[in-house]
Amino acid sequence: MENTTPFDILITGGTLLTMSGAMEIIDNPVIGIRNGRIVVVEKGDDAPAAKFTARETLNATGCVILPGLVNTHNHLPMACFRGLADDLPLMEWLHDRMFPTEAKYVNRHMVYDGSRLAMAEMILSGTTTFCDGYFYESGVAQAAIDMGMRGVVSQGFLDFATPDHPDPSKNIRIAESFIDKWKDRSPLISPALFCHTPYTCTAETLITLKQVAREGHCLYISHVAETQDETRLIRERYGTTSIRYLYQLGVLDERTICVHAVWVDEEELDMLRDTDAKVSHNPESNMKLAVGVAPVPAMLRKGITVGLGTDGCASNNDLDLFREMGTAARLHKVAMMDPTVLDARTALSMATIGGARVLGMEDRIGSIEPGKCADLIFVNMDKPHLTPLYQVYSHLVYAASGADVTTAIINGKLLMKDRKLLHADLEDIMEKVRKIGAMIADNK
Amino acid sequence: MENTTPFDILITGGTLLTMSGAMEIIDNPVIGIRNGRIVVVEKGDDAPAAKFTARETLNATGCVILPGLVNTHNHLPMACFRGLADDLPLMEWLHDRMFPTEAKYVNRHMVYDGSRLAMAEMILSGTTTFCDGYFYESGVAQAAIDMGMRGVVSQGFLDFATPDHPDPSKNIRIAESFIDKWKDRSPLISPALFCHTPYTCTAETLITLKQVAREGHCLYISHVAETQDETRLIRERYGTTSIRYLYQLGVLDERTICVHAVWVDEEELDMLRDTDAKVSHNPESNMKLAVGVAPVPAMLRKGITVGLGTDGCASNNDLDLFREMGTAARLHKVAMMDPTVLDARTALSMATIGGARVLGMEDRIGSIEPGKCADLIFVNMDKPHLTPLYQVYSHLVYAASGADVTTAIINGKLLMKDRKLLHADLEDIMEKVRKIGAMIADNK
């Protein structure tokens, strides 16, 4: 029966990294996709492609096929601020540059246009799922639907006026209506709530919004323990440290993502493990903003689930998760003076199945197995910088870049082929953001 | 007169980063190249392109034109070992994996083929000049001539048997004849001597080879102060530290390049400054091998000349200097917990004019000025990950990758256009290295 109904897409050839439990690698596989799902994954020798029919057949010869990468932390609309302010201390960067720029220029259109640009960049560099947190987040959700990307869209909250919501007393109602609006709207979209930080949100906001998230079965995200300044602030105000504070408030659980988690002590690691709270690790942002090095190898040893994120373009400044993998694998080696602490396979796991676990979506994405959503990419290994090939994990982490990704399929839909976006007008998207950039540059 | 003789190449449009003393940036420039040299650099408005004639005209609209990048440290033939052994401690990696593999597989053909692959990768990612150190170095020199690349080729020496020279007692004669062979052979090639480390070369070798280099007016290169193990070894043997040791031996001068220089104290920095010895900084290799973080911001403050290098493919694992710039700029920020210590402009300077100074070639390369060699590249900024554009240094360092380079000119010859190598059979080069890789993988 299955063999007689044509696939939407049939993939043959290449080398498949399943990233499933057994980390099976299949040379010359056959992968069948139907109705957005992976329905067949077999060795080509066992299941010759000729026995299947398909509307579209993709030949992956010379490529590695792997699950689309999962970017666990982003502020996609900030693509509009890429390179606007670099090489500044974080608090100056945030309070003197980012917040005023956001107050003036963030609006519904900027969010939609900036998100589409960021999504184009992500698809072109092999990311198929993102987790975003920003203002006017419905614009991000709409952009994802229009671009065909999978995403967790988290409406952002602070306890002062934000670009989209001048009155923080209405935060609960806004949160509830955001979840209502996007729940079950599209298979691509999962709504969530994003409390900016434990020092820009009051305890009441942190607690009540977690309650709203729990009622909606949604993710709850916060920047936590990013800087020493934050640690000092939290200690001054609450006599404790950031993770401890959230633990005491009762907001840590398996659907809470702690973004950054740089300044975390041993006992706090235990709190993360015991509550099954997740960590989004953003090494390039942490380096560029000079905030410190998160104890990721210790987290992994404890069994804490860690995914990779790029953070927004204002602090990275690109969204290439291949680079982020390479940076993660290198950074922890030098930080711990031990080249064995985070190997290539672990880095790739963090960017695929690990990221899926962070988002609570490991039943749907993060590996290539029958029954999962068809989110996958091809990386062209036929390049001088990927030659010769001894070990595929090594090349993907230490030598490949997003520019080596040729093909991207999300939810069973072919979005990129031969590095061309098939369902987006890239020139138009770039032109719209250039206009926003020109306005900001001219301070208009 | 100058205006009537046609240029070999005329470049119009785009944005020129001169990287010259004044760091002038020229929008819509006109650049004329003749006989391998830059002869005209003007604003397009002052000197309309129509008043010049040229054999070939290149339109750089949408691109940034900048000096070709300078990679100050490499072991190019090790491209054959890319990804063969990762995530291991340096001494194990070097002594248990690299040295035995080299003893078995390094030969004249491997050096030539591996170098051509590495050069293809470098040209494709915007590097126009390299400084290499390895065995059978004449093979690297020949590959550079055949590929059209500019390079410092340094014959490697250790005080034990090497793949090309079983008897270290003949090192002096070999060094002299290597210099004789390659001096004045090609405008692309500068011969030099590479003493592996202060612990694998005896004091006598270090001193006598420096003498040979001085007599030949050649560069003298050594890995120095790379690891704590090295520091311990040097202290045990000589009762001092690596840089001090070389200083006491009298081998530090303006034509000595200290590669890595990670474990260096304040007084040693003064020795580097006082002797005008140069430093090659290889951040990605240092991170991946977990050796430490070189005090580059302190070096720059003291006025020490620092260039960037990728190191060989066995420890990086690619040769993309754009990535290396981004890593350098980020690494020192987090290492010093100060985001202002190494800004984007400084990183780009290190990879261009700074690298040229390290190689003593700043009169010929490293900036785009009339009279200099025509080594330059175009970076296509018309990409989503480089949009919008506020500040060009920022994008080149924090967001661009080698894959954004579209055009490369070395010594006035157009080697790459639209990302295609014009004078190299890339498929043949890759196939030859794949065969070497297959032999190594099969341990044949």
- Which whole number is the average pLDDT over A252-276? 98
Which residues of chain B are in CATH 2.30.40.10 domains?
7-67+372-421
Q: What is the pLDDT of residue A3?
A: 54
Angstrom distance (rounded) from CA A147 to CA A136: 17
Q: What is the pLDDT of residue A2?
A: 47
DSSP lists the bridge partners of residue A11 as A31, A58
Chains A–B, number of C-beta pairs less than 8 Å apart: 224
Residue B403 burial (C-beta neighbours within 10 Å; 0-12, 13-18, 19+): buried
Reported confidence tier of residue A46, pLDDT bands at 50, 70, 90: confident
Across the interface, of B334, B339, B433, the residue whose CB is closest to A388 is B433
Across the interface, of A83, A327, A398, the residue whose CB is closest to B83 is A398
Residues from chain B that touch A79, judged by Cβ atoms under 8 A, are: 387
Which helix (H) or strand (E) segment is A115 a member of? Answer: helix A108-124
Interface confidence (ipTM) of the complex: 0.96
- Which whole number is the average pLDDT over A386-392? 97
Angstrom distance (rounded) from CA B264 to CA B198: 14
Reported confidence tier of residue A128, pLDDT bands at 50, 70, 90: very high
Tell which A residues from 46 to 105 touch B, by Cβ distance under 8 Å: 79-80, 82-84, 86-90, 93
Q: Tell whether the model's pLDDT for residue A1 goes beyond 50.
A: no
Angstrom distance (rounded) from CA B444 to CA B439: 5
Instruction: Please provide the distance, in angstroms rounded to a whole number, between the alpha carbons at the two ends of chain A.
Output: 62
Which residues of chain A are in CATH 2.30.40.10 domains?
7-67+373-418
Residues from chain A that touch B292, judged by Cβ atoms under 8 A, are: 334, 337
- Which whole number is the average pLDDT over A279-287? 98
Cβ contact B389–A437 (<8 Å) = yes
State the best of B390, B425, B433 to mutate against chain A, taking most chain A CBs within 10 Å: B390
Coil/strand/helix, residue A176: helix
Which residues of chain A are in CATH 3.20.20.140 domains?
69-358
- Which whole number is the average pLDDT over A248-255? 98
Angstrom distance (rounded) from CA B339 to CA A387: 35
- Which whole number is the average pLDDT over A370-379? 98
Q: What is the pLDDT of residue B1?
A: 44
For CA atoms A206, A207, A209, A215, give the dihedral sign: positive
Across the interface, of B86, B284, B399, the residue whose CB is closest to A317 is B399
Q: Closest approach of chain B CAs to the CA of A288, in angstroms?
A: 5
C-alpha pair distances (Å), A211 with each of A219, A252, A253, A268: 11, 11, 12, 22
Reported confidence tier of residue A93, pLDDT bands at 50, 70, 90: confident
- B7-67+372-421 maps to CATH 1.10.8.60: no
Q: What is the pLDDT of residue A28?
A: 96
Of B393 and A47, the structure prediction assigns the larger pLDDT to: B393
Q: What is the pLDDT of residue B420?
A: 98
Q: Which ranges constitute the DSSP H helices of A226-295?
A: 228-238, 242-249, 266-275, 283-288
Residues from chain B that touch A334, judged by Cβ atoms under 8 A, are: 286-287, 290-293, 331
Q: What is the pLDDT of residue B3?
A: 54
- Which whole number is the average pLDDT over A320-327? 98
* Homologous superfamily, domain A69-358: Metal-dependent hydrolases (3.20.20.140)
Across the interface, of B121, B336, B339, the residue whose CB is closest to A385 is B121
CATH number (2.60.120.10, 2.130.10.10, 1.10.460.10, 2.30.40.10) of A7-67+373-418 reads: 2.30.40.10
Q: Tell whether the model's pLDDT for residue A95 goes beyond 90.
A: no
Cβ contact A384–B121 (<8 Å) = yes
Are A433 and A114 a contacting pair, CB within 8 Å? Answer: yes
Over residues A73-90, the pLDDT tens digits come to 999 999 999 999 999 887
Strand segments, DSSP code E, in A14-157 are 15-17, 25-27, 29-34, 37-43, 54-59, 63-67, 69-74, 127-134, 150-157
* Residue stretches of chain B with pLDDT short of 50: 1-2
Q: What is the pLDDT of residue A443?
A: 87
Q: What is the pLDDT of residue B2?
A: 47
Give me the amino acid identity at A142. Answer: Q
% of chain A residues with pLDDT over 90: 92
Within a 10 A sphere around the Cβ of B413, how many other Cβ atoms? 17
Kindly report the average pLDDT of chain A as a whole number. Answer: 96
